[in-house]
Amino acid sequence: MRVRRAIDGDLQALIDLETRSFATDRISPRQWRWHLESDSARVLVALHERRLVGACVMFFRKGSDLARLYSMAVAAELRGQRVGEQLLEAAEAAAQRSGCRRLRLEVRDGNAAAQRLYERNGYQRIARLPAYYADGEDGWRYEKTLSRAGAG
C-alpha cells in the first residue's frame, strides 16, 4: 500500500471511487478537478497494486492552524485492511507540514466503522450535527490536536 498526492491522471478513478462509496453528498467531477488544482485543497490517494483504492480530501485556510478532512473513501473490498488508517496518517502529516496543529472532520451518525477509526486514532467528538447530511442523517464533528514536529 502506498499513499501519495493525487494527480490529474487520477481523476476518473477518484470519480469512480466516489460513485461506489457514497449514495449522496458526492463530490462532482467539476469539484474533483478544482480540488486537484487548488492551493487550499489537498487530495491524497491510496494505491494497492497500482490501483486507486482510497482517497481523502483536505482543506486548508491561509493563516489558520486548523485543517479539515472533508472526505475519505475506501474501496469496499479493502475496508478493514488499514487503508483508511494509512490515509488518515498521511492526512495528519500533510496538515502538520502545512503548519496546522488541529485536524477536524465530520462523520455520519450511522458510520460506526469510521467513528471507531477516528476514535482509535485520538479524535474526540466535539459536536453533534442534527440533519447535517443532504439525506437528513445526523453527523458528528471530530477534532484532533496534532503533535508538534519531533514530539511524541
Query: Would residue 15 count as lying in a domain?
Result: yes
Overall number of domains in the chain:
1
Among 138, 107, 139, smallest CA distance to 121 is for 107
* 56 pLDDT above the threshold of 60: yes
Residue 150 falls within a domain, yes or no?
A: no
Average pLDDT over residues 20-32: 91
Query: Is 152 domain-assigned?
Result: no
pLDDT (tens digit per residue) in 64-100: 999 999 999 999 999 889 999 999 999 999 999 999 9
Q: Tell which phi-psi region holds residue 50, choosing left (phi > 0), alpha (psi between -120 and 50) or beta.
A: left
Q: Stretch 98-103: mean pLDDT, rounded?
A: 96
pLDDT, position 148:
64
Residue 139's pLDDT is 97
Residue 75, in any domain of the structure: yes
For residue 135, the enclosing domain spans 2-145
Cα distances from 5 to residues 9, 44, 47, 87, in angstroms, run: 11, 4, 11, 11
- In 61-98, DSSP assigns E strands to 66-74
Structure-model confidence comparison of residues 91 and 23, the more confident one: 91
What CATH number is associated with residue 131?
3.40.630.30
Q: Within a domain: residue 151?
A: no
Q: What percent of the chain has pLDDT over 70?
A: 97
Task: Tell me the CA distances in angstroms from 139 to 15, 58, 78, 126, 127, one per residue in order.
Answer: 23, 18, 24, 11, 9
